[in-house]
Chains A and B, each alone.
Chain A
């Protein structure tokens, strides 16, 4: 045991010089990562909203497909879904204009399922009295949804939505497997050239971390803003 520990070559753990020199190249990868992540957040949220509405609809014809969709996406690995989109679809003659687009589509469609569940439970956790008092004031379904329910549900959905966003950022690394030159892909290129996988992947990890810290920071700011109507008791 002691032997094994003594044999670790700590001097090769991290080469700051290599990390620093490869940073500009990694930043190019990060741009792609952020493009995919941001598009993924926006589209998964929009699609999630639609799915949540479908899931809560009084019509079985809307409820049932939404339910199936959510079940499928939550029950299959994102990587497998990306393979279906990027390697599977061309077999039947459907081709994405680029791997990036395939990645965005895959991530959006997959995370929309999680987003739908968060949105649905947030909407359902707004007390029924809110619907009823709005109805007694002659507000219709959409007026109530838009002006009364969604603002309150947003506060409730904020922390779990941030979790989804963090998962999306980290999930973008999977699209490196379908040849997208994002952050992980770039790190792997440098790692192969420099023969220093440890430094490169640690650097990549730190960059992902930094992005997630920034997102968490915004969450906290938003949470304060959306909770300002609650007195601090």
Chain B
């Protein structure tokens, strides 16, 4: 489903991603862990081209793009690539001037030109699934962080992506609302949705991930099953990081 080869990203004169290789199979859940500044967000953003990679190739679904370092990409290619992915941000980024329902039907309505009544029906079903149906007519400002994030997940799902990208979806939440978001993600995983998740929730990763990638300094230092990477890490840096998290 995802195939990344020799991916490179440079900001100014600092290389943030240095030859990244990994792949994600259909239906797999991959958790991306690592210290702050290691390039996790940048890697995720390279997958849906919010950042333009400076080298390597990315394949998602049937779309492959190669990057030559010019920083130039065709709009057409970017659009094609983005049809495969949905993204959930640490800060939700719901549209504040639209209700939950309006938020989630916005893109299918304007981008795909689909029928509103049909979308509302679909939206209600989806909101029910993420436990947000009763809040469908509220504005984001009136919701808790956990509720906003669940709405944001529904919004991304409405575009029927084949892969969902999550960038620390629970890091901006009050502790008491973290669980409700993780539960929604877990149920998506059990339905077989392909997901790439940047997270510091190690218990979640242990339970849900098929594969864990540990990143540090722009490299994937170690990868494998949660048992391999989180319980018996081979690399010293991985051990250090996990120890720090436990403290």
Contact = CB atoms under 8 A, between A and B. Distances in A.
B106 A137 contact: yes
A5 interface: no
A137 B155 contact: yes
A231 B96 CA distance: 11
B107 interface: yes
Interface size class of B (residues with CB under 8 A): 20 to 34
B130 interface: no
Given A132-B93, A148-B95, A229-B97, A139 B142 contact: no
Contacts of B152: 133
A125 to B, nearest CB: 13
B93 A129 contact: yes
B139 interface: yes
A121 B93 CA distance: 20
Contacts of B110: 139, 143, 147
B82 interface: yes
Interface in B73-106: 75, 79, 82-83, 85-87, 89, 91, 93-98, 106
B156 interface: yes
Interface string A189-233: 000000000000000000000000000000000000000111100
Contact of B48 (A130, A136, A155): A136
B82 A138 contact: yes
Interface in A138-161: 138-140, 143, 147-148, 151-152, 155
Which residue of B86, B97, B139 has the most chain A CB atoms within 10 A of its CB atom? Answer: B97
Contact of A136 (B82, B91, B106, B139): B82
B142 A231 contact: yes
Contact of B96 (A135, A137, A140, A229): A229
A25 B91 CA distance: 60
B139 A139 contact: no
B17 interface: no
Contact of B141 (A130, A138, A151, A231): A231
Nearest to B96: A229
A67 B98 CA distance: 34
Interface string B135-149: 000011110000000
Given A151-B97, A229-B139, A231-B139, A138 B111 contact: yes
A229 B141 CA distance: 7
Interface string A154-178: 0100000000000000000000000
B95 A136 contact: no
B245 interface: no
B154 to A, nearest CB: 12
Given A132-B50, A132-B89, A138 B159 contact: yes
A139 B75 CA distance: 12
Nearest to A230: B141
B106 A130 contact: no
Nearest to B98: A229
A140 B112 CA distance: 12
Contacts of A127: 93
B107 A139 contact: yes
A123 to B, nearest CB: 14
A151 B96 CA distance: 10
A45 to B, nearest CB: 20
A136 B141 contact: no
A129 B95 CA distance: 10
Nearest to A148: B95
Interface in B118-152: 139-142, 152
Contacts of B139: 228-231
Contacts of A152: 96-97
21 contacts: A127-B93, A129-B93, A132-B93, A133-B89, A133-B93, A133-B94, A133-B95, A135-B82, A136-B82, A136-B87, A137-B107, A137-B111, A139-B106, A140-B75, A140-B111, A147-B106, A151-B97, A229-B96, A229-B139, A230-B96, A230-B141
